[in-house]
Amino acid sequence: MESEHSWYRELSAEERSWVGMVAQAGIGGFIDWYRTNGAGPASAIDMFDPAPAELARSISLRHTLDLIRTSVAVVEDQVPALADAADRIELREAVLIYSREIAFAAATVYAQAAEARGAWDARLEAHVIDAVLRAEADEALRSRVAALGWDEVHDVLVAVGRAPSGVHSAIVDSLRREARRAGLESLVSVQGRTLIAIIGGVTDPIKQLQALTEHWAPGPIVLGPTVPHVFAAGRSARAALSGYGAAPAWPDAPRLCPADELLAERALHGDNHARRTLVDRVVRPLRDRDALRETALGFLAQPSLEATARALFVHANTVRYRLGQFAEATGYDLTDVREAFVVRIAFAFAAWDER
């Protein structure tokens, strides 16, 4: 094995010892079975009993099959020394039968290991998602994140939307596969009628997540802000969940909707953080710019350049200029119906705060 397989030489002494025990158990099992003249079934599953379950993680199925081929080749080479000419064909046939059973046994062991690992990973994944939703970035989360291989995943956001009908495990698996094809990492959970995904490796959320939208039911999929890593994903989760809860108030919300686009609805829905953010973005930049604030309020009251100009006793071009200045200061264009609505809500909250 050492001479034919370079990867075998890289195993630790303990791992090589486990491989040796498995090989000896396999050869011993073949001898015992052959002594009965093949009377019993040629079961080889017991040959893997001496090895701990960890061996399936440190040695791949492909490498295990390499070891089986090498072991079978060694046994076949010894056939001339072990049997007379008349018995060699029968012995070789027995080796072939038993080697086939060994291959099936190896596949069974690795399938069982994969199922156990999948179940364990699913439990870990559920714990990580719950911790992120509760914003619990403690040591338990760190160890679980490391076990899932997410400690080096960056540029993370949380996406929340309505779950489609169907078996939860199938929904989760299909979304995870699609994310992998898109070059993204994902942790996925169905909670009630909500499908929640933590997505990693995101640099352009709207563009990259477009391929994943079909895995949610119809309706807006709210995206929290992108954060550096999963330990900071609680902030993204809070925004996404808040936005998803408030999204019905915006019937024309886009399919992929950043939570920031729902600040007004989130504030109306009771999200105090969204309320403060909205006021800070719209009203705070106008603190020392009374003319812009007055013009914005006037235009909201009667959205016409001429009507606003008459109400303020200024020229229409002055109103146009001030609206441009307002857009530069706040990022909101009052000539856009949607953005004007958001600004109106911001001014309403600011008025309550100033009482």
Neighbours of 129 (CB within 10 A): 21
What is the structure's pLDDT at 355?
74
Buried/exposed code over 30-63 (b: 16+ C-beta within 10 A; e: otherwise): beebbeeeeeeebebeebbeebeeebbeebeeee
Mean pLDDT score across all residues of the chain:
86
Higher-confidence residue of 56 and 234: namely 234
Contacts of 320 (CB under 8 A, 6+ apart): 305
Q: Of 33-42, 118-127, 170-179, 274-283, give the lowest mean pLDDT range.
A: 33-42
Q: For the whole model, what pTM was predicted?
A: 0.68
End-to-end Cα, the chain, rounded Å: 82
Same fold, 139-257 and 274-353: no
The dihedrals phi and psi of 216, each to the nearest 5 degrees, come to: -100, 160
pLDDT at 352 over 70: yes
pLDDT (tens digit per residue) in 115-133: 555 554 667 788 888 889 8
What is the structure's pLDDT at 213?
97
The CATH number of 274-353 is: 1.10.10.2840
The pLDDT of 336-351, averaged and rounded, is 96
What is the structure's pLDDT at 10?
78
pLDDT (tens digit per residue) in 202-248: 999 999 999 999 999 999 999 999 999 999 999 999 999 999 999 99
User: Side-chain half-sphere of 200: how many Cα atoms within 13 Å?
Assistant: 19
Q: Which fold has domain 139-257?
A: Alpha-Beta Plaits (3.30.70)
pLDDT at 199 over 60: yes
pLDDT (tens digit per residue) in 87-99: 777 777 877 777 7
187 in Cβ contact with 127 (< 8 Å) = no
pLDDT (tens digit per residue) in 129-146: 888 988 877 778 888 888
* Burial class, 354, CB count within 10 angstroms (exposed 0-12 / middle 13-18 / buried 19+): exposed
pLDDT (tens digit per residue) in 298-332: 999 999 999 999 999 999 999 999 999 999 999 99
155 in Cβ contact with 202 (< 8 Å) = yes
Break the chain into its structural domains and give their ranges.
6-118, 139-257, 274-353
Higher-confidence residue of 126 and 345: namely 345
